[in-house]
Each structure stands twice: as structure tokens, then as C-alpha cells.
Amino acid sequence: MSGELRIGLAGLGTVGAGVAKVLRARGNALAWRAGRGLALTAVSARDRKKDRGIDLSGAVFETDPLAIAERSDVDVVIELIGGEEGAARALVESALRAKKHVVTANKALLARHGAGLAALAEKNGVSLKFEAAICGGIPIVKALREGLIAYEVSAVRGILNGTCNFILTQMEATGRPFAEVLAEAQRLGYAEANPTLDIGGGDTAHKLTLLASLAFGTVPDLAGVAMTGIDKVSPADIAFAGEFGYRLKLLGVARRTPNGIEQLVHPAMVPARTPLADVESSFNAVSADAGEAGTFFFQGRGAGQGPTASAVISDLVDVARGAFGPAFGRPAAELAAPRREPAEARASAYYLRFQVLDVPGVMAEISRHLANEMVSIESMIQRGRAPGEPVAIVMITHEAQHVAVVRALKAIAASDKIFEMPCMIPMETA
């Protein structure tokens, strides 16, 4: 390995500043691991004058991020701009074309354009690394790409969005409704002013897409994710989950099934006292079923300066050591086209909640519609008999076709004895 690895850093927000700090503070320790020095030679951000509290001496400042990709004194570009198109995409493409390695935290970009960018990196003989894009500091990309490779991975499941897990944990602890807890999370800085990407499940879908590609050797398939956010979750469902011995979590799940690959993002019931169920607050976690090697579980901080900078630095040292390899674990040309599981094949046990008028015949009506669709009931709770109040009927079904349950609920909702659209939440194994 010859000479220092020369780094161009585009984006000096929280994570970028963290990366710069670590490069300054831990030069020796990192050089030992890398077999060579790591030198920050160029940085880019919009505002040249802003005081970021970090020492950038020795690094050229560029206001145009694309200039970083063109510099002859840069071997690797760190892209921390964000966004699936625009400056981030242009920078990554220019850098790869200029035969510079790329390290990025950009899950949206990779979920949409990952296969093409991986091919571009290969064509130019450089590496594309994205440990920081999934679960911050948890070395899950490395684990799937380099660790759990002896056997076929059959499923990955994750709590991939700290904001959602924080909100669900708070709703559980306080019994307060979603909107209130979201507003509080926004005040505390745990949720963004525009929280759609988090609470709608989009951010989880980006990360799930990348996990699935790493696990199954398929082209990242964002459009193949069936997605439900947490905005409709009610404190009642969280409380009933507890009574049935479950906790409600927003999961990303990718599975090989006999009918294809299933990718789901949804609030799900997870059996209590399992590792995924016990993930609290803003932590992230992933479990992976790795064939004969068994099931593995990884937990840690998924966001923030330290965890994300940790992942970027890990990628940088890999690049410095020359530890290249295809971005998604196999050459881009060998990534399989994902065969999506057809919607009709999707099946699970489901939690169902009905708000009903407490009059004779209501249970018979619900049961009849479920039976018509071959949905059978495993267990049931009925609560809340204050006169005039709606009654909650809650049940867990045996495994049933997703489309059949949806049809049954639609028929049930048409009844005048039902107060609101019934709630339907899948049960997940942990």
C-alpha cells in the first residue's frame, strides 16, 4: 500500500463534522489498521465561513461538491449530502467515473440507483461502500457482505428507523396517541419538522431494500416494498399487543419465500421477550436467518454523529487497506433480478381490532365474513362494556392470505354496527 489515502469530504453537517474530528483525533490508530495514513485533503459545503468547531487546516475548501470529484489530490470521496438525485447523485457518479472510491451514507440514492452505481464502480475499478446508510454504527453491511456468507440467508428483519421506534416506545410507556407523541418527538429533535419519510416507512424501505440486496444477492428493488407507516397505530393496539404477549414495532422484513422475495415495511406484532421486541427507544436492530449458521441479532445506535461517523470511518479504512469487493457482495452483473412474491401469495397470522356497536348479531356478522374468506380465529378478547360506548373486539387469526383478510375487513366495515375501518396488523416471528 503506497502513500496516504487522500480523502475528499462532501457535506459538513453533523456526520461530516464527526468524520473530520475522528480523522484528526485518531490518525495513528487508524493508520495502524489501514496500513497507511488517512489525510483529509478537500472538503465541500455551502457556507465557507460557518464555524463548525472543527480543524479543517490542510484541506482545500470547495463550495461546489462536484469539484471534489475532479481533484487529482483525492482518492476517495465521502458523500454526505443526501438525497436520491441532484448534487449527491451527480457527485457519486462523477467520482466513480473519475476512478475515485466512494463512501456514502445515502440510503435513498442507493435504494434507487444502487445496481447502476455498483456497476459503474466495478467498471472503473473502484469501490462503493455504504455501511453508514443502514443502522448507523451497527456493522451490518459488513456482516451480511463478508460475515454471514457461508449459507444462504433466508430472512432479514429490522427495526431500521429510530424515530419510529422512539415514538412507539413512548406511546407504549405513556398510553398517549400518535399525534401527541410525534409532536413531542419533534420538540425534542427526535423527529424532523417534516416527518413523512420516517413515519410513513419510506426511510425503513430504503434500508430494507439494501439489506435484502446484500442478503439475497438481488438488484435493490425499492418499488417491490409493500409499505405501511405508523401514523395509524393507536395506543389501544399497543395495549392489546401487550395483553396477547406481543409488542408493536415498525419492522422492515425481507424473506425468500417459495413464490419469490417478499419485502414488507409495516407495524407488526413481535413476540415479547425476543431480541427484536426488546429494542427500546431510538435504537436500531437487525436479525438475520443465515441457514445452518443460525439466527443472528445485531443492535446499536442507528443515527447521530458518533454512530454514523463510526460507519464512515470503517469504510474508509477498508478502502485504505485495499479491501475492495463488489458493493452488494457479488458483481453487479450477477445480481439477480428480484422475483417479487405475488400479492396473492402473501400470508401471515393477523391481529384484528373492530370497534363495534354492542348489539346482538355483531359477532355473528364479523365471524361470517371471516369464515367466507377462510380466515380462522386463534384467540380473542372483548372489552369495554360501558353502555352506549363502542366495544372493542380484538382477535388473532391463524395464518391467512393477506388479500383474503383485506376483503373480509372491507365487507365487515360496510356493516352499520361497525364504527371505523377495522385495524389489521400482521404477527411476525422474531
Handedness of CA 213, 217, 221, 225 (dihedral sign): negative
Nearer to its own copies, 170 or 314 (CB): 314
Nearer to its own copies, 137 or 229 (CB): 137
Q: Residues 234, 175, 363, 347: what is their CA dihedral angle, to the nearest 10 degrees?
A: 50
Q: Residues 28, 32, 33, 38: what is their CA dihedral angle, to the nearest 10 degrees?
A: 50
Least CB distance to its own copies at residue 315 (A): 10
Collapsed DSSP state (helix, strand, coil) of residue 277: coil
Nearer to its own copies, 29 or 381 (CB): 29
Three cell numbers written together for 220: 435493490
Near its own copies by CB under 8 A: residue from 200, 271, 300, 390: 300
Near its own copies by CB under 8 A: residue from 321, 346, 407, 417: 321
Is 306 one of the binding residues for its own copies (CB under 8 A)?
A: yes
Is 123 one of the binding residues for its own copies (CB under 8 A)?
A: no
Is 71 one of the binding residues for its own copies (CB under 8 A)?
A: no
Distances (CA, A) of 375 to 113, 240, 355, 414, 422: 40, 20, 19, 18, 15
Give how many residues touch its own copies by CB under 8 A.
Answer: 61
Of 53-61, 188-196, 218-226, 273-281, the window that binds its own copies (rule: CB under 8 A) is 273-281
Q: How far apart are CA 229 and CA 231, in angstroms?
A: 6
DSSP state of 340: B
Near its own copies by CB under 8 A: residue from 149, 226, 236, 403: 149
Instruction: Please give the residues from 31 up to 60 whose contact with its own copies meets the rule CB under 8 A.
Output: 32-33, 35
Beta pairing class for 76-79 and 101-104: parallel
- Angle at 355 (CA atoms; ends 172, 267), nearest 5 degrees: 40
Q: Please enumerate in sequence order all residues whose Cβ is within 8 A of that of 348, keeping only pairs 6 or more positions apart, or say none.
A: 399, 400, 402, 426, 427, 428
410 is catalytic: no
Is 139 one of the binding residues for its own copies (CB under 8 A)?
A: yes
Q: Identify which of 227, 222, 200 has the alpha carbon closest to the alpha carbon of residue 212.
A: 222
Q: How far apart are CA 128 and CA 409, in angstroms?
A: 46
Is 382 one of the binding residues for its own copies (CB under 8 A)?
A: no
Nearer to its own copies, 67 or 148 (CB): 148
Least CB distance to its own copies at residue 264 (A): 23
> 251 pairs with which residues across the strands?
266
Longest dimension (CA), the chain: 82
Neighbours of 68 (CB within 10 A): 27
Collapsed DSSP state (helix, strand, coil) of residue 166: helix
Q: How far apart are CA 422 and CA 406, in angstroms?
A: 10
Is 146 one of the binding residues for its own copies (CB under 8 A)?
A: yes
Three cell numbers written together for 194: 417534516
Is 297 one of the binding residues for its own copies (CB under 8 A)?
A: yes
Of 18-26, 67-75, 196-204, 259-267, the window that binds its own copies (rule: CB under 8 A) is 18-26
Tell me the CB-side half-sphere exposure of residue 53, using CA atoms within 13 A.
Answer: 6
Nearer to its own copies, 299 or 348 (CB): 299
Of 67-75, 177-185, 308-316, 343-351, the window that binds its own copies (rule: CB under 8 A) is 308-316
Is 138 one of the binding residues for its own copies (CB under 8 A)?
A: yes
Of 4-12, 174-182, 329-337, 371-379, the window that binds its own copies (rule: CB under 8 A) is 329-337
Is 404 one of the binding residues for its own copies (CB under 8 A)?
A: no
Is 142 one of the binding residues for its own copies (CB under 8 A)?
A: yes
For its own copies, what does the binding mask look like between residues 200 and 219, x meaning CB under 8 A?
Answer: -----------------x--
Near its own copies by CB under 8 A: residue from 134, 148, 181, 393: 148
Is 119 one of the binding residues for its own copies (CB under 8 A)?
A: no
Residue 61 is inside which H or E element, if any?
strand 60-62
Nearer to its own copies, 163 or 401 (CB): 163
Is 271 one of the binding residues for its own copies (CB under 8 A)?
A: no
Judge contact between 315 and 130, C-beta under 8 A: yes
Is 159 one of the binding residues for its own copies (CB under 8 A)?
A: no
Distances (CA, A) of 135 to 44, 139, 207, 219, 232: 25, 8, 8, 20, 24
Per annotation, catalytic residue among 100, 107, 207, 249:
207
Of 58-66, 129-137, 409-417, 422-430, the window that binds its own copies (rule: CB under 8 A) is 129-137
Q: Give the residue numbers marked as catalytic.
A: 207
Q: Interface residues with its own copies (CB under 8 A)? A: 18, 22, 26, 29-30, 32-33, 35, 131, 136-139, 142-143, 145-152, 217, 273, 275, 278, 290-301, 304-307, 309-314, 317-318, 321-326, 329-331, 334
